């Protein structure tokens, strides 16, 4: 009996892990589409940034055509703004973002930050721009407001009983569905940090406190395109031990009720007999 219950619980966990991995891959594709749009915007902006005289007008036109993104500013290699779109609040850039863009292929995904001027939690993107001799002159930066990112990913949320988490490479949570706003900026659990840089997508399980619940998790690590963003999907289910306990409670309950009823009869029948006498 117990072996059958254990197998049933294990099979359910395996099924949920498989579903979670499928959903994680779908959500990773959705995150990848956001990155692709950021790349396209910044590639065009980088070409415009090389021409200071027409750059502000070009940035204004680009910003109108990409309302999903917040701010569009070109910075020189020292972090000074040299061209700004219509949203003039983007006046600072993290030096680490410049370094990351210069060290990579020219495009970089930043990490969770708070844009002080607009008091919004954001994810920045950067693209290097060059002069006519292909010498790096600086970076063009745009951002995504994380509440907008959460709403967009929610549109492709296939399993409403699942939990979707997107984190940056420092394990800071960017999006968590449901209730995203209260989770942004928190750190991933250690069990997920340990798989952050695995070479391939995979599955794992995480126990929930001291109870009989467990999370069946599918994840796509930072190393898989679009890179630098970690995606995981969780389903809650019962542990093998919890399933056995629940079954025992179900089987013991009828027996307990029968024993209680028998006990009541033993008490009541003598009382009735005494009344008749």
Query: Which has the higher per-residue pLDDT, 73 or 255?
Result: 73
Query: Which has the higher per-residue pLDDT, 247 or 51?
Result: 51
Residue 152 has pLDDT above 80, yes or no: yes
Res. 18 pLDDT band, cuts 50 70 90: very high
Residue 129 has pLDDT above 80, yes or no: yes
How far is the C-alpha of 71 from the C-alpha of 55, rounded, in Å? 14
Burial 99-136 (b: 16+ CB within 10 A, else e): ebbeeeebbbbbbbbebeeeebbbbbbbbbbeeeeeee
How far is the C-alpha of 65 from the C-alpha of 78, rounded, in Å? 29
Work out whether the CA dihedral 206, 208, 212, 217 comes out positive or negative. negative
Q: Directed axis angle between helix 2-49 and helix 55-65, to 10°?
A: 150
Q: Which of 173, 221, 161 is nearest to 19 (CA)?
A: 161
Res. 243 pLDDT band, cuts 50 70 90: very low
Res. 98 pLDDT band, cuts 50 70 90: very high
**Residue ranges covered by each domain of the chain:** 33-145
What the block records as the tokens of 15 is 């099924």
pLDDT in the model for residue 10: 65
Query: Which has the higher per-residue pLDDT, 75 or 158?
Result: 75
For the 33-145 domain, the top CATH level (class) is alpha beta
User: Cis omega (within 30 of 0) on the bond before 226?
Assistant: yes
Residues 111-118 have a mean pLDDT of 84
What the block records as the tokens of 142 is 């745009």
């Amino acid at each position: 009996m117990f072996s059958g219950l254990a197998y049933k619980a294990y099979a359910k966990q395996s099924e949920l892990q498989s579903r979670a991995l499928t959903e994680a891959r779908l959500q990773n594709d959705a995150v990848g589409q956001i990155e692709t749009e950021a790349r396209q915007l910044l590639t065009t902006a980088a070409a415009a940034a090389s021409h200071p005289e027409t750059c502000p007008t070009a940035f204004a036109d680009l910003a109108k055509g990409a309302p999903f993104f917040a701010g569009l500013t070109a910075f020189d290699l020292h972090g000074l703004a040299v061209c700004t779109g219509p949203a003039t609040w983007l006046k600072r850039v993290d030096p680490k973002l410049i370094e990351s863009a210069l060290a990579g292929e020219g495009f970089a995904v930043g990490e969770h930050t708070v844009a002080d001027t607009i008091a919004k939690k954001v994810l920045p993107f950067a693209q290097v721009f060059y002069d006519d001799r292909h010498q790096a002159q600086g970076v063009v930066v745009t951002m995504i407001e994380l509440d907008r990112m959460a709403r967009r990913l929610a549109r492709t949320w296939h399993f409403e009983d699942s939990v979707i988490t997107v984190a940056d490479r420092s394990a800071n949570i960017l999006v968590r569905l449901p209730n995203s706003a209260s989770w942004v900026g928190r750190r991933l659990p250690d069990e997920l940090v340990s798989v952050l840089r695995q070479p391939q997508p995979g599955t794992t399980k995480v126990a929930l406190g001291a109870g009989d619940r467990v999370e069946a998790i599918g994840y796509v690590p930072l190393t898989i395109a679009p890179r630098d963003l970690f995606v995981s999907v969780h389903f809650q289910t019962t542990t093998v031990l919890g399933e056995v306990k629940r079954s025992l409670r179900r089987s013991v309950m009828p027996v307990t009720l029968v024993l209680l009823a028998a006990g009541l009869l033993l008490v009541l029948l003598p009382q009735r007999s005494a009344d008749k006498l």
